[in-house]
Amino acid sequence: MTTVLTVILNWRTPEMTLRAAESAVAAMAEIEGRIVIVDNDSGDGSEERLRAGVAARGWGNRVRVVQSGRNGGFGAGNNAGIRDALAKGERPDLVYILNSDAFPEPGAIAALVKHLATHPTAGLAGSLISDPDGTPHLAAFRFPSLLSEIEGPLRFGPVSRLLSRQRVWMEVPEQTCRVDWVSGASLMIRHELFERIGGFDETFFLYFEETDLCRRARDAGFETHFVRESRVTHIGSVSTRMNEWRRVPDYWFESRRHYFRKHHGDAGAAVATLLHLAAGGLHRLRCVAMRRDPGDPPRYLRDLLRHELRQLRATRAREEAA
């Protein structure tokens, strides 16, 4: 029988995390495996509330709570949950990553298990993600590229149509299909593949980590599939509070830069940033002429440039000191 390890990462949202675990317990009713809740060093009493919640619900034989010991971000926290399972002698066939604000429908996890069992070329599978009101989220994507750094920031119809195959976001597929990468809110991966490619890259604190994981899986010869039959409700941004950002945090810029350097080299990363700044600047000029809000967070382009220059200065200083 196929075994599944479900990992749910908590950061200061214990009640929401317990709701996600409750949905996962129901969705794994006919599936062999464990659910590990990882408290990512919340430091606010979350761990104690999670342990009490698991005990009160009688989940002791099915769910356990572990402490990561440090807030290393999304990838590091999920890696910690998987390492804990291995240390306890558990070797699952599949690992299922579930956000703490995501709630799989009863058949959602089984649909991913079935899909991977019947599609040997697929190493990862992701779900159809929807708002509580049923509105689908963007959950299937193309890998970022140099041309996507023109299409996205420019937001100009003729160019977007010309570069439509380079656009990172995809319309929600009408049927199950192969894609480049899927949302990490509900993501299943073969454990053997996860070990082979080294798990999540912990250099990413938050954002781009699932993009990188799917890309490394592709480089190892495995596909990523969007599985429409697997349905998950996702509230979104509960831990990160992205919808409350006044400015984009530095860790987003750092993750973006690390992704491009890792997969396009130093020169490619620099070109990607220059293209992004140029396209974004043209978009703003057009918005000024049309007296329209550009739609970006305050100081977005300035912060991108500032971060890039700071990183270049740090790199130069390290080279001079070597």
Mean predicted confidence (pLDDT) in 248-261? 97
Please count the other Cβ atoms lying within 10 Å of the Cβ belonging to residue 17.
Answer: 29
Share of the chain above pLDDT 90, in %: 92
Q: What is the pLDDT of residue 321?
A: 85
Mean predicted confidence (pLDDT) in 92-120? 98
Tally of CA atoms within 13 A in the half-sphere of 169 that contains its CB = 10
Q: What is the pLDDT of residue 244?
A: 58
The full DSSP string for 68-81 is -SS---HHHHHHHH
Domain ranges of the chain: 3-137+172-237, 243-321
Mean predicted confidence (pLDDT) in 292-316? 93
11 pLDDT band, cuts 50/70/90, is very high
The pLDDT of residue 90 is above 70:
yes
The pLDDT of residue 7 is above 80:
yes
pLDDT tens figures, 186-197: 999 999 999 999
Q: How many residues belong to the chain?
A: 322
CA–CA gap between residue 200 and residue 174 (Å, rounded): 29
pLDDT tens figures, 21-48: 999 999 999 999 999 999 999 999 999 9
Nearest Cα neighbor of 7 from 54, 52, 45, 64 is 64
81 in the Ramachandran plot: left (φ > 0), alpha (ψ -120 to 50) or beta? alpha
Mean predicted confidence (pLDDT) in 54-61? 96
Furthest-apart CA atoms within the chain: distance in Å: 63
Q: What is the pLDDT of residue 318?
A: 86
The pLDDT of residue 247 is above 80:
yes
- 8 A C-beta contact, residue 21 and residue 50: no
Q: What is the pLDDT of residue 314?
A: 87
CA–CA gap between residue 40 and residue 72 (Å, rounded): 8
Element (H, E) at 170: none
The pLDDT of residue 245 is above 70:
no
Tally of CA atoms within 13 A in the half-sphere of 199 that contains its CB = 15
pLDDT tens figures, 186-244: 999 999 999 999 999 999 999 999 999 999 999 999 999 999 999 999 997 555 555 55
Residue type, 41: D
Please count the other Cβ atoms lying within 10 Å of the Cβ belonging to residue 60.
Answer: 9
Q: What is the mean pLDDT of the chain?
A: 95
CA–CA gap between residue 130 and residue 300 (Å, rounded): 28
Tally of CA atoms within 13 A in the half-sphere of 96 that contains its CB = 34
Q: What is the CATH number of domain 3-137+172-237?
A: 3.90.550.10
Q: What is the pLDDT of residue 242?
A: 56
